[in-house]
Amino acid sequence: MAAGGGIDPIHQFEIKPILGLRPFGLDLSFTNASLFMVVAVAVISAIMIYGSRQRATVPGRLQSLAEMLYEFVASTITGVMGRDGMRFFPFVFSLFMFVLTANMLGLIPGSFTVTSQIIVTAAFAFLVITVVLVYGIMKHGSHFFGLFVPEGVPGWLLPFMVLIEAVSFMSRPISLSLRLFGNMLAGHIALKVFGGFVVALTGAGIYATLAPLPLFLAVALTALEFLVAFLQAYVFTILTCVYLNDALHPGH
């Protein structure tokens, strides 16, 4: 905010290239966003790979964390998709861990929130839908499109139902990406706005006595944002499981 001059809650979402890369006229610069993607992968690898290096029967702290995350995602998958959903385990686990870690890293003051970029959440959402479509069609062929034909509907209503189902299916990637993007964006803006109030009030003479008020709110909001960071990663994961379940068992 110092660099932006004054208090600008949007400034934190600005992307700045660290290392310029322009092959074939495409701007593929390594930016602060790319840096935090790499940091997220490093943090996840530290927990999952470094943490489990001893393969101890009685786990240490880091291995316990790795096992807890493993079992949490595994139970989410089996809860939604059943046993055969475990074939998507590496995919869903990577997705959950990436989103969760990116959300959590974003809460460190001065860091960059990868998941507050619409292009990132949209890429994830379209990746999920692509996996659903490709796997569904590969596994079930044309039978997969039975997903759009609900059972027990009178014949004259069927075209409308198919249309509604198709639209609802196509809106899934949009809602999936916007939900995560919106939550992260709004949370960080709100945090910055309350932080800005504190700064503005401390420089406003007698009103400086009111400065602790927004500070207290900012602290409370930070706690809430930790909850949101986890909850949105979980929601993203569980919806991914629900959509993948359609690819696994299209017969409802």
Partner 1 sequence: MQVRASRAQRIGVVSAAASVMAVSADTAFAKGAFPPFDPTFFASQIFWLAISFGVLYWLMSRIALPRVGEVLAERSTTIARDLDQATEIHAKVEAVAKDHEQALAESRRNAQAIAQDARTASARETDAKRHATEAELGAKLAAAEKTIADRKTAAMKHVETIAAGAAAEIVGKLTGQSPTDAETAAAVKSVLSA
Which residues contact partner 1 (rule: CB under 8 A)?
Answer: 6, 8-10, 13-15, 17, 21, 26-31, 33-34, 37-38, 40-41, 44-45, 48-49, 52, 55-57, 59, 63, 66-67, 70-71, 89-91, 93-94, 97-98, 114, 116-120, 123, 175, 178-179, 181-183, 185-187, 189-190, 193, 228, 231-232, 234-235, 238-239, 242
Q: Which is nearer to partner 1, 13 or 145 (by Cβ)?
A: 13
Q: Which is nearer to partner 1, 162 or 224 (by Cβ)?
A: 224
Q: Which is nearer to partner 1, 144 or 181 (by Cβ)?
A: 181
* Least distance to partner 1, CB of residue 9, Å: 5
Instruction: Give the single-character DSSP code of 57.
Output: S
Structure tokens at 219: 């602290």
AA identity, residue 236: F
Contact status, residue 116 vs residue 106, Cβ threshold 8 Å? yes
* Least distance to partner 1, CB of residue 154, Å: 28
* Least distance to partner 1, CB of residue 66, Å: 5
Nearest to 31 by CA among 19, 49, 14: 19
Q: Cα–chain-centroid distance for residue 226?
A: 13
AA identity, residue 202: T
Structure tokens at 96: 């959950």
* Least distance to partner 1, CB of residue 249, Å: 18
Beta bridge partners of 19: 30
Q: Which is nearer to partner 1, 137 or 235 (by Cβ)?
A: 235
Q: Which is nearer to partner 1, 27 or 84 (by Cβ)?
A: 27
CA distances, 65 to each of 45, 71, 76 (Å) = 12, 10, 16
